[in-house]
């Protein structure tokens, strides 16, 4: 599903964000990527969504070599990889439902399709009662659920969660991880990039540990070891 093959990324003057990193994630896996700040986790995410380019090596998503992806192709890549972030990245002047619909509107989906998809997704993430609320009127957990719903609008095969629980209390964090597991059970590959030791240890899933841009550990049912 996802292959990093001797991926290297340098930032001037001398920072090696990714240093010959190689890994392989299978379809339908739930993988946690852990590591200290500056270890290269965020660079991996950025390279996966086309925000950064590798200096050398390769990244393959499905059958698609995205290493030298053109600017024109990036939107198509991003419709295949759902992404959620620590700060939710919701538009404050739109309701939760409008935020989800917005992702479909900007890609030219018809109103009929949008009206069919949005309520269904809001129900899946448990927000069918809060659809018309604005982000400022709901909790952090509910905002993250809306962000997950938005990430799922194109039924992506991969869901990339970059520190999704970073701004949440433990109860909300647990609910979000439960939701990610539920999505994973439907067949979506979930990549969880996190600092949260408790979350990783409770998951009991594959853990990739990154340090100084290198993969230092790959455990099938791993723990947070740093």
Here's the x/- map for another protein, 139-168, by CB under 8 A: it reads as -----------x--xx--------------
- The answer to whether the beta carbons of residues 86 and 162 sit under 8 Å apart is yes
Residues 36, 38, 51, 64: which binds another protein (CB under 8 A)? 51
Residues 53, 89, 182, 197: which binds another protein (CB under 8 A)? 89
DSSP characters over 36-60: -TTSSHHHHHHHHTTSS--SEEEEE
* Total residues binding another protein (CB under 8 A): 24
Alpha helices, H only, 152-207: 170-185, 197-203
Alpha carbon 87 to chain centroid, angstroms: 12
Judged by beta carbon, residue 115 or residue 219, the one nearer another protein is: 115
Instruction: Give just the sign of the alpha carbon dihedral 183, 189, 193, 194.
Output: positive
Residues 25, 47, 83, 131: which binds another protein (CB under 8 A)? 83
Q: How far is the CB of 63 from another protein (least distance, A)?
A: 19
Q: Using only C-alpha atoms, what is the Rg of the chain? A: 17
Residue list 160-219, contact with another protein (CB under 8 A): none
| Residue 18 Cα distances to 29, 213, 217, angstroms | 22, 4, 15
* Listed ranges 58-66, 107-115, 175-183, 201-209: which one lies at the site for another protein (CB under 8 A): 107-115
Question: How many Å apart are CA 178 and CA 40, to the nearest integer?
Answer: 26
Contacts with another protein by CB under 8 A lie at 49, 51, 71-72, 75-79, 83, 89-91, 93, 102-103, 105-108, 110, 150, 153-154
């Amino acid at each position: 599903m996802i292959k990093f093959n001797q991926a290297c990324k340098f930032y001037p003057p001398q920072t090696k964000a990714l240093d010959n990193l190689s890994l392989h994630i299978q379809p339908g896996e739930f993988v946690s990527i852990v590591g200290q700040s500056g270890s290269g986790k965020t660079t991996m995410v950025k390279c996966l969504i086309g925000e950064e380019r590798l200096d050398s090596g390769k990244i393959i998503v499905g059958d698609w070599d995205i290493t030298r992806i053109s600017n024109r192709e990036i939107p198509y890549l991003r419709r295949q990889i759902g992404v959620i972030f620590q700060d939710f990245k919701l538009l404050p002047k739109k309701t939760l439902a409008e935020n989800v619909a917005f992702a479909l509107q900007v890609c030219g989906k018809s109103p009929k399709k949008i009206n069919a998809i949005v309520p269904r997704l809001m129900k899946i993430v448990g927000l069918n009662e809060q659809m018309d609320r604005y982000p400022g009127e709901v909790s952090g957990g509910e905002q993250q659920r809306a962000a997950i719903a938005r990430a799922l609008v194109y039924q992506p095969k991969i869901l990339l969660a970059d520190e999704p629980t970073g701004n949440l209390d433990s109860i909300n964090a647990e609910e979000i991880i439960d939701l990610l597991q539920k999505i994973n059970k439907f067949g979506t590959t979930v990549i969880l990039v996190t600092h949260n030791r408790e979350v990783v240890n409770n998951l009991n899933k594959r853990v990739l540990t990154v340090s100084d841009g290198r993969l230092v550990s790959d455990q099938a049912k791993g723990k947070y070891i740093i």
